[in-house]
Amino acid sequence: MQQTSTTDARWMARALELAAHGPEAGPNPRVGCVLVGPDGELVAEGWHRGAGTPHAEAAALLAAGAAAAGGTAYVTLEPCHHTGRTGPCSRALAEAGVARVVYAVPDPNASAAGGASWLGEQDVRTHSGVLQPEAEALNRTWLHRARTGLPWVTWKLATTLDGRGAAADGTSRWITGPEARADVHEQRARCGAILIGTGTALTDDPRLTARRPDGTLHERQPLRVVMGQRDLPDDARLFDDAAPTLHLRTRSPREVLTELSAREVHHVWLEGGPTVAAAFMADGLVDEIVAYVAPVLLGRGRPSVSDLGITTIADALRLEPTDISTIGHDIRITATLQENH
């Protein structure tokens, strides 16, 4: 196994910082590239700014010019080896005379992979796996879709301490406080799509937009998706011009995710009611749960999730917390399902 030097780790860490500037919800992965000369000094940097723009390697090579020759390229994802909207980065690196390519994560996309092997055939040395866990975390939803064919699903719920998602009369605004609601909008803005069922759409008439605390819209809006057979009124707020809306007339979670994957969505923010949530959970299609728990007691009312068919504690779905934060007066618990991860 190749050993990672302190120098390689240092430059890859910088490449990851650059990659984080890229659009998180775009169809492409976030990638950063650092070019270092034979003398060990920084030559140029670049990152991918979104679909249709130069890849990170191309951006760095353009800035470097002839100074890239004989140096090392540090890239957070294996250089692509296909021609899409832009040319293959593997070929661009070789033609620039780069002597060594260090990358963090092998490209799982079959149509783009193979760059490292081809570079080796051109006598360009390669080294993989440098800061791979950090690079995997940066692109976890994109990598999930590339590997499974389906988007990563985050189920968001707001619940009382006694597990109620709404009061007995059906009211649910507002279980959580303004700080938690603002946090939800920040999370929405980072996703490719927001998903609800027709029941929630008809009962709440939500806008499903990502808004700032002052009510203005975030620059980028996720796709609004409604699943279910029932018709929606033409004057529903979901059909305003604030963001695109898609009504998928199916009750199958897998059909919904397959359609969204075909549209290059890799992160779905699930805000459906207890029935939709239970359907996704039952099909094993929830990858992460973000629960906003309010210090509120209702005693009775609608549960946060419908029947999952669990009758004994031994069959309970166990979660692995990845973050617990206080948001205003509420607690936000982020967790993954142990059986999925």
Confidence label for 340 from pLDDT (cuts 50, 70 and 90): very low
- 173/307 same-domain check: yes
What is the number of domains present in the chain?
A: 2
- Of 67-71, 151-155, 170-174, 279-283, where does mean pLDDT reach its minimum? 170-174
User: Quick check: 1 pLDDT over 60?
Assistant: no
For strands 164-166 and 152-160, give the pairing. Answer: unpaired
How many residues are listed for the chain in this entry?
Answer: 341
Task: Tell me 54's DSSP state.
Answer: P
Q: Among 99, 119, 142, which residue terminates a domain?
A: 142
* Structural domain includes residue 210: yes
Greater pLDDT, 48 or 314: 48
What pLDDT is attached to residue 111?
67
75 Cβ neighbours under 8 A, 6+ residues apart:
15, 31, 32, 33, 56, 57, 89, 101, 102, 103, 104
User: Quick check: 311 pLDDT over 50?
Assistant: yes
Q: Tell me the mean pLDDT in the region 82-103.
A: 88
Q: Which of 17, 24, 57, 255 is catalytic?
A: 57
For strands 223-227 and 193-197, give the pairing. Answer: parallel
Task: Tell me 10's DSSP state.
Answer: H
What pLDDT is attached to residue 338?
60
Q: What is the CATH number of the domain that holds 243?
A: 3.40.430.10
Question: What's the CA gap between 93 and 154, in Å, rounded?
Answer: 37
User: Quick check: 299 pLDDT over 90?
Assistant: no
- 138/153 same-domain check: no
| Whole-number Cα distances in Å, 304 to 90, 274, 277 | 49, 5, 9
* Sheet of strand 267-270, all strands in order from the earlier edge strand to the far edge: 245-248, 223-227, 193-197, 267-270, 152-160, 288-294, 330-337, 319-327
- Tell me whether the omega of the peptide bond preceding residue 174 falls within 30 degrees of 0, making it cis: yes
User: Quick check: 318 pLDDT over 90?
Assistant: no
8 A C-beta contact, residue 333 and residue 293: yes
Question: What's the CA gap between 73 and 76, in Å, rounded?
Answer: 10
- 185/115 same-domain check: no
- 278/175 same-domain check: yes
- 324/196 same-domain check: yes
* Structural domain includes residue 256: yes
Q: Tokens representing 84?
A: 């899409």
- 113/42 same-domain check: yes
For strands 32-36 and 42-47, give the pairing. Answer: antiparallel
Q: Tell me the mean pLDDT in the region 301-312.
A: 79
* Structural domain includes residue 171: yes
What pLDDT is attached to residue 339?
52
Q: Among 97, 117, 142, which residue terminates a domain?
A: 142
Structural domain boundaries, residue 55 = 6-142
Catalytic residue check, 134: no
Question: What's the CA gap between 91 and 236, in Å, rounded?
Answer: 50
What mean pLDDT, rounded, does the chain reach?
91
What pLDDT is attached to residue 44?
96
* Structural domain includes residue 1: no
What pLDDT is attached to residue 337?
82
Q: Please count the helices (runs of H) and the strands (runs of E) in the chain.
A: 10, 15
Q: What is the CATH number of the domain that holds 110?
A: 3.40.140.10
Question: What's the CA gap between 331 and 309, in Å, rounded?
Answer: 27
pLDDT digits (tens, 9 = 90+) for 256-270: 999 999 999 999 999
Percentage of the residues of the chain whose pLDDT score is greater than 70 = 95
- 96/174 same-domain check: no
What pLDDT is attached to residue 151?
98
pLDDT digits (tens, 9 = 90+) for 212-234: 988 899 999 999 999 999 999 99
- 280/136 same-domain check: no
Confidence label for 300 from pLDDT (cuts 50, 70 and 90): confident
Q: Tell me the mean pLDDT in the region 25-38.
A: 95
Please spell the DSSP secondary structure of 237-303, one letter per residue: GGGSTTS-EEEE----HHHHHHHHHHTT--EEEE---HHHHHHHHHTT---EEEEEEES---SSSEE
Please spell the DSSP secondary structure of 271-282, one letter per residue: ---HHHHHHHHH
Residue 43, SS3? strand
Q: Which of 75-84, 105-114, 207-216 has the highest mean pLDDT?
A: 207-216
Q: Tokens representing 306?
A: 């419908």
Please spell the DSSP secondary structure of 81-144, one letter per residue: -S-SSS--HHHHHHHTT--EEEEEE----TTT--HHHHHHHTT-EEEE-TTHHHHHHHTHHHHH
Confidence label for 152 from pLDDT (cuts 50, 70 and 90): very high
8 A C-beta contact, residue 39 and residue 64: no
